[in-house]
Structure 1
Amino acid sequence: MPSNKILEQKKEIVRELSEKVKSAQSFILADYRGLTVEQDTEMRNALRAAGVEYRVVKNRLTSLAMKENGYEELDSFLEGPTSIAMSTNDVVAPAKVLSEFAKKFEALELKVGVVEGKVIDLNGIKALAELPSREVLIAKVLGGFNAPISGFANVLNANLRGLVVALNAIAEQKANA
C-alpha cells in the first residue's frame, strides 16, 4: 500500500494533468518506445519551440485525468509507453510537429488526438498536420479582404486613365484643326 505522501503526489499529478487537458485546444497521445535519447531530445526541443507541452505520465494517472474531462474512450489507447503533447494556443502545432517526427523516426507511433473536445483518429491527425500554420491562414484571409479593395481601385484607375486618354485625343484633334 502506497504511503499517503505518494498518494497525494499522484493526486496532484492527476489534478494538474486534468487542468491542462481541460484548457488544451488540442492534444495528441503517442507511443515513444524505441526513440533514442537524441531523437527524443530533438523532438522535445521542436515541440517546445512550437509552444507545445510534452509529457510522459503513467497510463493509470493519464486515464484518471481523461475520465475527469469526459474522454473515457481514450482508455483503449493507454497501452504501453504513452506520451502526451498539448497546446493551449495552437490547435495544429502538436499534430504538425509529431507527424513530422513520426515520418522522420519510424519508432514514434501516433495513437489518437483530441481537437477542441472532439476525438480524432490517426487520419484526422495527419489531415490536421497538413493544414497551413495559423500565420499563413491569417495572411490568406487578409489577402482575401484586400483583393476586392485593390480590384475596385484598379477599376477606378482604369476609368480615369480612359477619360484622360479620351480628353487628350480630343485636345489633339482640336489643336490640329
Structure 2
Amino acid sequence: MPSEKILSQKKETVAELTSKLKNAAAGVVVDYKGITVANDTKLRKELREAGVDYAVVKNTMLRFAAKEVGYEALNDVLEGTTALAISDGDQIAAAKILTKYAEDSKGKFVVKAGFVDGGVIDAAKVAELGKLPNREGLLSMLCSALQGNIRGLAVALNAVAEKNGEGAPAAE
C-alpha cells in the first residue's frame, strides 16, 4: 500500500492533468520511444513557441484524468511510452507540429490519438487536422475568396455599364 504522501502526490497530479484537459482546446497523445535527446529538445522548443504544453505522462495518471473529463476512448492507446501535448488556444498547433515530426521520424515517434472539441479522435484524424493550414492561412484563404467574388462582381457591373453606355446617346 502506498504511503499517504505518495498517494496525495498522485491525486494532485491527476487533478492537475484533469484541469489541463478540461481547459484545452485540443491535445495529442504520442509514443515518443526512439526519440533522441537533441530531437526532443528541438521538438519541445518548437511546441513551446507555438504555445503548446508538452510533457511525458504516466498512462495510469492520464487514464484517471481522461475518465474525469469524459475522454475514456483514450484508454485504448495508453500503453508504452506516452507524452501529451495540449494547446489552450490553437486547435491545430499541436497536431501540425507532432504530425510533421512523426512523418520525419520514420516510425520512431508515433501519434497515438488526440482530442478536440470535447471528443477523442484517432491518429488518422490527428494527421488530417495537422495538414490543415493555421489560423492565419485560413483567414488569408477566406479573404482571397471574398476578394475574388467582389472583383468578379465589379467586373460584371462594369461590363453592364459599358454595354448600356455604348447604345445610349449622350444626353447633354
- TM-score bracket for the superposition, by shorter chain length: 0.7 to 0.9
1:175 match? none
Q: Distance in 2 between matches of 1:164 and 1:73?
A: 67
Query: SS where residue 144 of structure 1 aligns?
Result: helix
Q: Distance in 2 between matches of 1:152 and 1:29?
A: 47
1:109-133 Cα distance to aligned partner (Å, 9 max, x none)? 1111112122222211111111121
Who wins on radius of gyration, i.e. which is larger?
Answer: 1
Q: Distance in 2 between matches of 1:6 and 1:146?
A: 60
1:135 match? 136
- Give, in angstroms, the shift of residue 151 of structure 1: 2.1
Q: Distance in 2 between matches of 1:74 and 1:47?
A: 22
Percent of paired sites with the same residue: 43
- Give, in angstroms, the shift of residue 135 of structure 1: 1.2
Contiguous gaps of at least 5 residues in structure 1: 172-177
Q: Distance in 2 between matches of 1:47 and 1:138?
A: 22
Contiguous gaps of at least 5 residues in structure 2: none
The 5 A counterparts of 1:1-177 are 1-106=1-106, 107-161=108-162
1:87-118 Cα distance to aligned partner (Å, 9 max, x none)? 12112111111111111223111111112122
- Give, in angstroms, the shift of residue 165 of structure 1: 6.3
Provide TM-score, normalisation by structure 1. 0.84
Answer whether contact 2:71 2:119 (CA < 8 A) is retained.
no
Kindly tell me the number of residue pairs found equivalent between the two proteins: 169
Task: State the one-letter code of the partner of 1:20.
Answer: K
Q: Distance in 1 between matches of 2:105 and 2:38?
A: 11
Q: CA RMSD in A?
A: 2.0
1:54-96 Cα distance to aligned partner (Å, 9 max, x none)? 1112111111100101122222211111000111211211111
Task: State the one-letter code of the partner of 2:145.
Answer: G
Provide TM-score, normalisation by structure 2. 0.87
Task: State the one-letter code of the partner of 2:120.
Answer: V
- Give, in angstroms, the shift of residue 39 of structure 1: 0.7
Q: Distance in 2 between matches of 1:119 and 1:156?
A: 49
